[in-house]
């Protein structure tokens, strides 16, 4: 059986022989892919991690449109530096902590999220002062070397005063604790952070740019050809296929992944077992993608109204 499907990478040939529902289930699962920009971003994060402690810690701002893979990258980074327990010393170390910004951008909410990210739970009814000092103590105790704040654009939902307080909090954390901070967010977030004069010169920015019809994108399509569990070879290298994928996804990583997943599932269900230019004629398949664009545009309008 495994000699079959030689259009697939060897490691993926067995997947193609699984029953339809199992293949569909497989397709719906998230798995990390070593994309070029994501790899570059991880290298930048590594640099921040290994930086020696000194007066001014370098910080990194990872920015790009929703769906470009920012959360995937920072979570992967945290996985690569997972917490560990040293039995002899009886100590837990957590080199990387990822905090999701709370929807309500207050300092209390922020410290609450930070403590939760460090696996602490019992701190209800604590004053802001206590939350702050407990956070500080835990960051030191766990040997946290990089603090990642994901979705910092949420901060923009707050009043200008709240935003200022929040930027002060970031400044306090990097100055006082000498822990480098990585912020991930959209272009709006970049503007907010870089217009703060105290933060601007500390943060280097790394942008995740949408895919274009270039060699890197051909490589990505070739990867999909080699790993999607379809039983016949697809034609993802055709220029019109590549152009369709880019138009429908606007080059956004997450949308490309969802589109390829939908195309592959359709190819299993309709027994064509491969993807080519005509796969895009299926309207039922494209409908969710169109609504995805409408949602993205609505979000953008809402955000502009709030700002
Ligand atoms: N390196 C990657 N490997 C696998 N899937 C990815 C990768 N980057 C992005 N994705 C896909 O794109 C989707 C959106 O990524 P996400 O990190 O949530 O974007 P962002 O945080 O920038 O809005 C993910 O759910 C995942 O399916
Ligand atoms: Mg995200």
For residue 205, what are the CA distances in angstroms to 147, 148, 251, 276?
Answer: 16, 14, 20, 38
The continuous run of DSSP H or E covering 101 comes out as: none
Q: What is the pTM of this model?
A: 0.90
Provide the domain count of the chain. 2
**207, 235, 266: which is the final residue of a domain?**
207
pLDDT over 70 for what percent of the chain? 92
Residue-number span of the structural domain to which 56 is assigned: 36-207
- Same domain for 72 and 96, yes or no, is yes
Specify the pLDDT at position 174.
Answer: 80
- At 164, the pLDDT band (50, 70, 90 cuts) reads confident
Specify the pLDDT at position 307.
Answer: 42
- Same domain for 14 and 56, yes or no, is no
> Which atom belonging to ligand 1 lies closest to the Cα atom of 35?
1
Give me the CATH number covering residue 66. 3.40.50.300
- Same domain for 222 and 152, yes or no, is no
Residue 49, domain member (yes or no): yes
**207, 229, 245: which is the final residue of a domain?**
207
- Across the beta sheet with 181-185, the strand order is 96-100, 146-150, 181-185, 59-63, 203-207
Choose the residue to mutate in 28, 67, 152, 256 for probing ligand 1, maximizing ligand atoms within 8 Å of C-beta.
Answer: 67
Segment among 135-144, 253-262, 297-306 with least mean pLDDT: 297-306
Average per-residue pLDDT for the chain: 89
Among the bound ligands, the one closest to the CA of 207: 1
- Region 186-201: mean pLDDT is 85
* CA 226–ligand 1 middle distance (angstroms): 19
> Which atom belonging to ligand 1 lies closest to the Cα atom of 72?
17
> Which atom belonging to ligand 1 lies closest to the Cα atom of 66?
23
Residue 200, domain member (yes or no): yes
> Which atom belonging to ligand 1 lies closest to the Cα atom of 76?
1
Q: Is the CB of 32 under 6 A from ligand 1?
A: yes
pLDDT above 70 (res 301): no
- Same domain for 137 and 56, yes or no, is yes
Q: Whose CA is closest to 240, among 185, 270, 207, 277? A: 277
Q: Is the CB of 254 under 6 A from ligand 1?
A: yes
- Same domain for 61 and 198, yes or no, is yes
Specify the pLDDT at position 306.
Answer: 46
Q: Is the CB of 233 under 6 A from ligand 1?
A: no
Q: Is the CB of 33 under 6 A from ligand 1?
A: yes
Q: What is the full DSSP assignment across 126-185?
A: --HHHHHHHHHHHHHHTT--EEEEE-GGGGGGS-HHHHHHHHHHHHHHHHHH---EEEEE
Number of Cβ within 10 Å of residue 304's Cβ equals 9
pLDDT above 60 (res 300): no
Residue 110, domain member (yes or no): yes
pLDDT above 80 (res 178): yes
Spatial distance between the Cα atoms of 240 and 251, rounded to a whole number of angstroms: 15
- Region 185-208: mean pLDDT is 88
Residue 63, domain member (yes or no): yes
Q: Is the CB of 257 under 6 A from ligand 1?
A: yes
63 and 37 in contact (C-beta within 8 Å)?
Answer: no
Q: Is the CB of 9 under 6 A from ligand 1?
A: no
- Same domain for 67 and 140, yes or no, is yes
- Same domain for 189 and 44, yes or no, is yes
- Same domain for 24 and 43, yes or no, is no
Residue 3, domain member (yes or no): no
- At 5, the pLDDT band (50, 70, 90 cuts) reads very high
Residue 1, domain member (yes or no): no
Is 296 strand, coil or helix? helix
| Between 231 and 121, the higher pLDDT residue | 231
User: What confidence tens digit (pLDDT) does each residue in 42-85 have?
Assistant: 999 999 999 877 777 889 999 999 999 999 999 999 999 999 99
Among the bound ligands, the one closest to the CA of 32: 1
**168, 184, 207: which is the final residue of a domain?**
207
Residue 21, domain member (yes or no): yes
Specify the pLDDT at position 176.
Answer: 80
Residue 4, domain member (yes or no): no
């Amino acid at each position: 059986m495994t000699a079959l499907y030689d259009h697939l990478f060897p490691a993926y040939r067995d997947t193609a022989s699984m029953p339809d529902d199992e293949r569909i289930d497989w397709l719906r699962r998230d798995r990390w892919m070593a994309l070029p920009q994501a790899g570059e971003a991880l290298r930048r994060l590594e640099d921040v991690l290994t930086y020696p402690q000194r007066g001014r810690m370098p910080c990194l701002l990872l920015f790009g449109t929703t769906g470009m893979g920012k959360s995937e990258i920072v979570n992967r980074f945290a996985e690569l530096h997972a917490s560990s327990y040293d039995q002899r010393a009886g100590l837990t170390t957590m080199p990387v902590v990822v905090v999701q910004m709370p929807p309500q951008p207050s300092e209390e909410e922020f410290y609450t999220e930070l403590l939760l990210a460090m696996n602490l739970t019992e701190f209800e009814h604590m004053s802001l002062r206590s939350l702050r000092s407990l956070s500080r103590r835990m960051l030191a105790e766990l040997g946290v070397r990089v603090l990642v704040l994901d979705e910092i654009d949420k901060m923009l939902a707050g009043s200008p005063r709240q935003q200022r307080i929040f930027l002060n909090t970031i400044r306090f954390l990097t100055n006082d604790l000498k822990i480098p901070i990585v912020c991930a967010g959209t272009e709006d977030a970049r503007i907010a952070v870089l217009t703060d004069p105290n933060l601007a010169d500390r943060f280097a920015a790394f942008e995740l740019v949408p895919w274009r019809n270039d060699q890197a994108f051909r490589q990505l399509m070739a990867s999909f050809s080699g790993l999607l569990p379809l039983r016949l070879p697809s034609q993802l290298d055709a220029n019109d296929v590549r152009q369709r994928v880019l138009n429908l996804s606007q080059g956004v990583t997450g949308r490309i992944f969802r589109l390829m997943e939908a195309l592959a599932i359709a190819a299993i269900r309709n027994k064509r077992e491969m993807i080519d230019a005509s796969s895009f004629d299926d309207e039922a398949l494209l409908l969710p993608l169109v609504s995805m664009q409408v949602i993205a545009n609505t979000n953008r309008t809402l955000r502009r109204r709030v700002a």
